[in-house]
Amino acid sequence: MAAGLPRRIIKETQRLMQEPVPGIVALPDEGNARYFHVVVAGPSESPYESGTFKLELFLPEEYPMSAPKVRFMTKIYHPNIDKLGRICLDILKDKWSPALQIRTVLLSIQALLSAPNPDDPLANDVAEQWKTNESKAIQTAKQWTKTYATDN
Amino acid sequence: MIVSSWIVAIFTFHLWNNNNVRKCLFVTLEKLGIMGSCVCKEKTTARSDTPSQTTRNNGRSATDGHLSGPQSETGRSDIESSTSSGYHGSQILVTRTASKKTVRSLVLETLSVIRTLIDNEIEPPQAMIQLHKIAETESGWLDVTKSLIQAIPMKDPLGPAVITLLLDECPLPTREAIVELRKNLGLSKTGPAAPYKECCCQRNLCVLLGCLAEKLAGPNSVVLLSQEVLEYLISNLSMSHPSVIILHSLVALEKFAQTSENKITVTKCLMSLDPNPLIVLESLWHDKDYLKREVGFCARWCLDNLFTSDGRACSYENEDLSKINVMLNCNDVSEYLKISPDGLEARCDASSFESVRCTFQVDSGVWYYEVTIVTAGVMQIGWATKDSSFLNYEGYGIGDDEFSIAYDGCRQRIWYGAHSQPHKHPCWKPGDILGLLLDVDNQTIVFALNGNRLPPEEDLFICARSGFFAAASFMSYQQCEFNFGAKPFKYPPPDFDFKCFNEYGHLSSDQKIIVPRYQKFAELRNVQVKEDSCTLCFDNQADLILEPCGHIGFCSTCALQLETCPICRQEINERREISGKPGKANSVFSIPVSAISKDSSAKGSDSLNPGGIMKDYDSDLKDRTKIKLVHSKRNVDRSETDSNMTSLSFNGAASRVPDLTVNGEVDRSKKTTIIVDNETQNAAMKDSVS
């Protein structure tokens, strides 16, 4: 129920503010304490380096017994992220554990940027490109990062 | 609230480029076994893990990945060809762009079909799927937006909601597409470019701007709100414009303000105007014209919550609430519903399905209240117990489970258990009065529109016998006003000896205050958490050890909802209570403390109200019925405004855990039953209340 905000969420929010995760910003919405505006820095030595990616994160009513819903708002060329920004990541699905937190989820997503997995694709055309011509795929990912994820 | 973060982002970015920091983090993550990986191949499990909740009654779909799988499989019909995996959907490339005319007819088709979407199980309409396909290219996306602006007619009460709905599932636009759209619209102080001058087009384009601002919150929302767009929207706030344009310009500005850079820009712009147009519009909140009244409501809400103006007191401070004894409960409402300062009027401008219950509970007798319909779109208004859940993002509200029933005057249906039956009333329109009568003793519910009654309903009493509240759910841009008896009723049923809430309810002066949202959250954030709290909920004391893995840091409420250890994923055979000595607990602890366990080291006093909620893990409705039975005796203690102790529902999960031991360390043979544990828990809850 939206009644009282569960202490778990309050606690996580406080900690995110006090000890921000390097390379990641997660701020609760002013009007909805279950909705977070997230910015993830593209990991260095990845095609997403120097990009800043905007995501939305929502804590459903069952949280932490069910996983947060996370989605990329910035366009990204990645075999495990589709056009709607949806992410294919096991810990957001069946491998969710209530001991995971907003910060660990976001770190995992950042790690996914460092280690794309074209064998388990969400975006099939991207994955195909990744498998058949990796250097071209990386080039495209870099180009998209420059076009969509770089703030002039 | 994103702007302040950009500075932090740049700063932390440098840190991140330090490889050591990064590697350390990755190593830590890997050790903890929480480094995620892609799960697409496990599609069958993923699907079966997400039960009926993922479909919805309003045609919305969750942002959750993978759910569009079936859409793309059925939706490719004439527009597209092959894809290798239907499951991954949306990968079909649009090779031919439909003509604008086709796009427009698809928009209209979607609009006409949406109204009939009443079954959770059916697929989204073909037209909608095709539009989403078309929008995958940049030019296609621009075509779709243009058609939305030009095709949606003024009259259809679902028009704005359909714009929201269609855009919600469209692929994300590129920055170029946004700039192009902005250029096409040609907005300025004097209005939009020629093709969009019509009042209806302008309304639609304001709705569209608002949706995009919400969807793109962050840098792209800043790109969209150029000086010209801002000037256009602000200039629309003058009373000389049609109310419908004022209204949607205001809502668009509100949505732009979700990005704090925009919020600062908009606030500055409003403050620089004398008089502040919002203060002028605010006076319309009790206007006789319902559209003007919407404008007034929104202007007042913005002034209280968003674009606060120095020297203007919050509305609640000026409101005479002495005669009001029952309100909509601002502690029992989903996140985005807006409630008026007198607690009797509510409105939703979000894309979710927002719900609320009132403060007064009825357990016996005959009761009546009325609702004035302000907007003619989808609202589900009726009765609900506390067991009814508000799943606003999934599109579930009042009438969508076994614990609530609702009247829907737009789609002309009665909702119960997420299913609906048509009724014989005409579509409602602004100014109509919905009368709702509940006879608990004779187990009947009667809905009447302007005094014209429908046959009595009885379904709600299958699962609920007492603990009823007036309740309602709102689709985007919908608004209505409740009368719990503080004002005379328009159509009191003469043949019933009914009571009205306002005569029997009581609220303290503190309880009557509808605190602006930002103040409420500021208060919440100052809450301190106890040192030995459960690391999952932080509500209860961590007093259990999981066997055989030996991990600690959990309370019984949480532990009973788990089948595997949250730290190491080992199956749990037993949950033992620890005798409260930290030293002893540590000695049992055999696996390194996770990063998470550190959270319990926070210090400070405990001041939040008790009973933070752990929702039932199985949101399966059947399970909830059981839970209801076990807890029904607690209803007696529930005060009318208490919204916290509603769903402490671990017994559904507990049925999977037959061997719960209490003080197992002392005596392993002392196995308790689930019922005993419930009582212990109830006692513990009572302690924490006092």
The Cβ of residue B457 has, within 10 Å, a number of other Cβ atoms equal to 21
Enter the tokens of residue B512.
């009557």
Q: Which residues pair with A25 in a beta bridge?
A: A39
Residue A59 has pLDDT above 60, yes or no: yes
| Token pair belonging to B310 | 């120095």
> Which tens digits make up the pLDDT trace of B150-166?
999 998 888 998 898 88
pLDDT at position B100: 61
Would you give the DSSP letter of residue B429?
Answer: -
For B639-653, how does the pLDDT look when each residue is reduced to its tens digit (9 = 90+)? Answer: 333 333 222 223 333
Beta-carbon neighbour count of residue B439 at 10 Å?
18
| pLDDT of B270 | 93
Percentage of chain B exceeding pLDDT 70: 68
Tell me if B6 and A92 make a contact (CB, 8 A cut-off): no
pLDDT at B637: 33
For strands B419-422 and B544-547, give the pairing: unpaired
Task: Give the mean model confidence (pLDDT) for residues B423-434.
Answer: 95
Q: Which of B383, B390, B384, B382 is nearest to B333 (CA)?
A: B390
What gap in Å lies between CA B177 and CA B144, rounded to an integer? 12
For the stretch B1-33, pLDDT in tens is: 111 222 223 233 333 333 433 444 344 444 444
Residues B472, B382: contact at Cβ < 8 Å? yes
Range of weakest confidence among A109-123, B89-103, B158-172: B89-103
Element (H, E) at B380: strand B379-384
Of B9, B305, B594, nearest to A39 by CB-CB distance is B9
Average pLDDT, chain B: 73
Please list every residue in chain B whose beta carbon sits closer than 8 Å to the beta carbon of residue A102. Answer: none
The reply to whether A127 belongs to the active site is: no
* CB neighbourhood size of A25 (10 A): 26
Structure confidence by residue, pLDDT tens digits, B584-635: 333 333 333 333 333 333 333 332 223 323 333 333 333 333 322 223 222 3
* pLDDT at position B688 over 80: no
- Residue A2 and residue B595: Cβ atoms within 8 Å? no
Which is nearest to B266 in space by CA: B225, B220, B215?
B225
Q: What is the mean pLDDT of residues B188-210?
A: 93
Q: Which residue of B has its CA nearest to A83?
A: B171
pLDDT top residue among B98 and B252: B252
Any chain B CB within 8 A of the CB of A20? yes
Phi-psi region of B167 (alpha: psi -120 to 50; beta: other; left: phi over 0): alpha
- pLDDT for B175 equals 83
Say whether B38 and A122 touch across the interface (CB within 8 A): yes
Residue B562 is predicted with a pLDDT of 87
Q: pLDDT per residue over B334-390, tens digit each?
A: 888 999 999 999 999 988 899 999 999 999 999 999 999 999 999 999 999 999 988
Q: Give the Å distances, CA to CA, from B66 to A35, A124, B72, B92.
A: 21, 13, 11, 14
Q: Which of residues 92-151 of A touch B (CB under 8 A)?
A: 92-95, 97-101, 104-105, 107-109, 111-112, 114, 117, 120-125, 147-148, 151
Residue A92 in this model has a pLDDT that exceeds 50: yes
pLDDT at residue B220, as a whole number: 82
User: Nearest by CB to A90, which of B25, B39, B332?
Assistant: B39
What ipTM does this complex have? 0.81
A vs B, Cβ pairs < 8 A, gives 293
- At B624 the pLDDT is 33
Confirm if A72 and A87 have CB atoms less than 8 A apart. Answer: yes
The rounded percent of chain B whose pLDDT value lies above 90 is: 40
pLDDT at B374: 96
Cβ contact, residue pair A120, B524, below 8 Å: no
For residue B208, pLDDT beyond 90: yes
